[in-house]
């Protein structure tokens, strides 16, 4: 199901098409998890997804202070190797950036977004998830938030370790795809 965009409406605002990315973007400001798992393959996978992060033209690496991100991805399976990175995209909109990300998957991952978001200045945040295969609970989730001069983007990256397990969701059922809230 390539193409599901989780849209988070907030009271803040919106921004335009994003800036630099995979092709010619400068290195992201990233960080590793505080508790490394010792799983070299998962560490390498998380880093590879971070290194392959594709952002719209004009994206500039930033640090966590670039914006107030009020939600975080809850990866239900573990242990995992995590990475996080931030960018600023001056002059961009939330919807333009989310749609660009949805149309330009990172590292040949599958988007969990189903449709484009219509341009609307009232939209102040959105999330776009990418997974390596259907039903996966690892990958990349981009959160886009409106800023005074455009948007800020945060990438949350998780790679499952060889010993990772996934608990049954409360009440049974299945976990939703990353980036779906």
Task: Evaluate whether residue 19 is within a structural domain.
Answer: yes
**Alpha carbon distance 158, 178 (integer Å):** 10
pTM of the shown model: 0.81
By residue range, what is the domain housing residue 115? 5-163
Task: Please give the pLDDT value at position 109.
Answer: 97
Reported confidence tier of residue 172, pLDDT bands at 50, 70, 90: confident
154: in domain: yes
Find out whether 152 and 87 touch, Cβ atoms under 8 Å: yes
Any domain includes 181: no
pLDDT at 51 over 90: yes
Spatial CA neighbour of 143 closest among 129, 154, 134: 154
Residue at 33 is within a domain = yes
* Domain assignment present for 32: yes
Is the residue at 24 inside a domain? Answer: yes
CA-to-CA distance for 93 and 88, rounded, in angstroms? 11
Say if 175 falls within a structural domain.
Answer: no
Q: How many domains does the chain have?
A: 1
Query: Which residue did the predictor score with more confidence, 140 or 19?
Result: 140
Report residue 20's pLDDT band, with 50, 70 and 90 as the boundaries.
very low
Q: How far apart are the first and last CA of the chain?
A: 16
Residue 170 belongs to some domain of the structure:
no
């Amino acid at each position: 199901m390539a193409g599901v965009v989780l849209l988070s409406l907030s009271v803040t605002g919106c921004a335009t098409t994003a800036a630099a990315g995979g092709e010619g973007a400068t290195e992201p400001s990233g960080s590793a998890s505080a508790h490394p798992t010792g799983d070299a393959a998962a560490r390498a996978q998380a880093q590879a997804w971070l290194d392959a992060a594709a952002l719209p033209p004009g994206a500039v690496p930033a640090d966590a202070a670039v914006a107030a991100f009020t939600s975080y991805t809850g990866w239900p399976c573990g242990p995992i190797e995590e990475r996080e990175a931030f960018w600023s995209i001056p002059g961009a909109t939330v919807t333009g950036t989310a749609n660009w990300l949805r149309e330009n998957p990172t590292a040949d991952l599958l988007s969990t977004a189903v449709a484009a978001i219509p341009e609307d200045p009232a939209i102040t945040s959105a999330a776009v998830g990418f997974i390596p295969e259907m039903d996966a609970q690892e990958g990349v989730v981009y959160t886009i938030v409106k800023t005074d001069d455009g948007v800020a983007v945060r990438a949350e990256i998780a790679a499952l370790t060889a010993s990772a397990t996934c608990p049954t969701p409360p009440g049974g059922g299945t976990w939703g795809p990353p980036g779906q809230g």
